[in-house]
Amino acid sequence: MSGTSPALTPPADAVPPVRHPDAPAPGELLGAHYGQCFGCGDDQPHGLHLQARAGEGVSITAEFTVRPAHQGAPGLAHGGVLATALDEALGSLNWLLRTIAVTGRLETDFVRPVPVGTTLYLEAEVTAVSGRKIYSTATGRLGGPDGPVAVRADALFVEVKVDHFVHHGRQEEIRAALNDPDQVRRARAFEVNP
Ligand SMILES: CCCCC/C=C\C/C=C\C/C=C\C/C=C\CCCC(=O)SCCNC(=O)CCNC(=O)[C@H](O)C(C)(C)COP(=O)(O)OP(=O)(O)OC[C@H]1O[C@@H](n2cnc3c(N)ncnc32)[C@H](O)[C@@H]1OP(=O)(O)O
């Protein structure tokens, strides 16, 4: 069974996404938006270490190899971990729009079991934008970029101001993010549609 709820169907006034002129070129790695991010952070030992690469338009690709720590059933990836990988891939698209946005809704179809040791080939793209709402879709394939689909997701991200994090985040991490010596990551956190 699969399908997308009406909440993830773009409204009639939605427009196609516009790639920001300063977005990384197709083929370029996006890098982590935050070192401690569970999805992409280089400094997060428990994380998925997803590395997204810019594609054409507003799309990315990424690879995620399922490790023993990601199991749910014996020898198989936990569904929540797979949803996290999809969420992270979808979240990274916002950097190509130069918009800061958070996941409002994420609907995931688990189509095939994903064994430990498998590399999931992820592809994600923004399909439409309506005001603060960003509609996107992603797939994860087994064995290669053209392999069978194992997981897919549709999502709605909602644009927020940096204040969202300053207001809701724990102070010690906010302070550390403000002092991040990595200029690209700082720009990613603080540049809102310049
Ligand atoms: C100083 C240090 C800063 C450091 C920053 C560092 C890095 C920043 C860069 C990027 C990082 C961003 C994210 C992380 C990246 C990747 C990780 C993956 C992504 C995530 O893991 S991210 C975490 C999980 N995520 C949340 O933690 C969100 C919690 N949540 C909220 O914070 C609010 O809920 C919010 C903001 C979503 C909306 O709240 P709000 O008050 O601003 O807006 P409102 O409710 O009016 O919604 C506006 C329009 O969206 C529609 N809408 C809203 N929610 C909907 C839903 N669920 N289903 C269908 N439609 C929905 C409404 O229906 C309305 O539609 P309409 O305009 O048509 O009426």
| DSSP of 78-103 | -HHHHHHHHHHHHHHTHHHHT--EEE
Residue 124 falls in which region: left (phi positive, over 0), alpha (psi -120 to 50) or beta: beta
* pLDDT given at position 20: 97
* pLDDT given at position 187: 67
* pLDDT given at position 4: 80
* pLDDT given at position 193: 47
List the Cα angle 96/16/150 in 5-degree steps: 70
Instruction: Tell the residue nearest (CA) to atom 6 of ligand 1.
Output: 189
Fold of 13-186: Thiol Ester Dehydrase; Chain A (3.10.129)
Q: Is the CB of 33 under 6 A from ligand 1?
A: yes
Q: Is the CB of 153 under 6 A from ligand 1?
A: no
**What amino acid is encoded at 169 in this protein?**
G
Strand-strand pairing, 119-130 and 101-110: unpaired
Distance 29 CA to ligand 1 centre (A): 25
In a mutational test of the pocket of ligand 1, which residue from 60, 92, 158, 193 has the highest number of ligand atoms less than 8 Å from its CB? 158
* pLDDT given at position 190: 60
Distance 105 CA to ligand 1 centre (A): 8
Q: Give pTM, 2 decimals.
A: 0.94
Q: Is the CB of 105 under 6 A from ligand 1?
A: yes
Distance 133 CA to ligand 1 centre (A): 9
Distance 179 CA to ligand 1 centre (A): 24
Structural domain spans, the chain: 13-186
Distance 134 CA to ligand 1 centre (A): 10
Helix (H/G/I), strand (E/B), else coil: 52: strand
Q: How many whole angstroms separate alpha carbon 111 and alpha carbon 122?
A: 14
* pLDDT given at position 3: 66
* pLDDT given at position 178: 82
DSSP assignment, residue 151?
E
**What amino acid is encoded at 142 in this protein?**
L
Residues 6 or more apart in contact with residue 131 via CB below 8 angstroms: none
Q: How many whole angstroms separate alpha carbon 168 and alpha carbon 189?
A: 15
Q: How many whole angstroms separate alpha carbon 177 and alpha carbon 23?
A: 22
172's tokens: 């010690």
pLDDT tens series, the chain, 194 aa: 556 889 999 999 999 999 999 999 999 999 999 999 999 999 999 999 999 999 999 999 999 999 999 999 999 999 999 999 999 999 999 999 999 999 999 999 999 999 999 999 999 999 999 999 999 999 999 999 999 999 999 999 999 999 999 999 999 999 888 887 776 676 666 655 44
* pLDDT given at position 182: 74
* pLDDT given at position 177: 84
Q: How many CA atoms lie within 13 A of 141 on its CB side?
A: 11
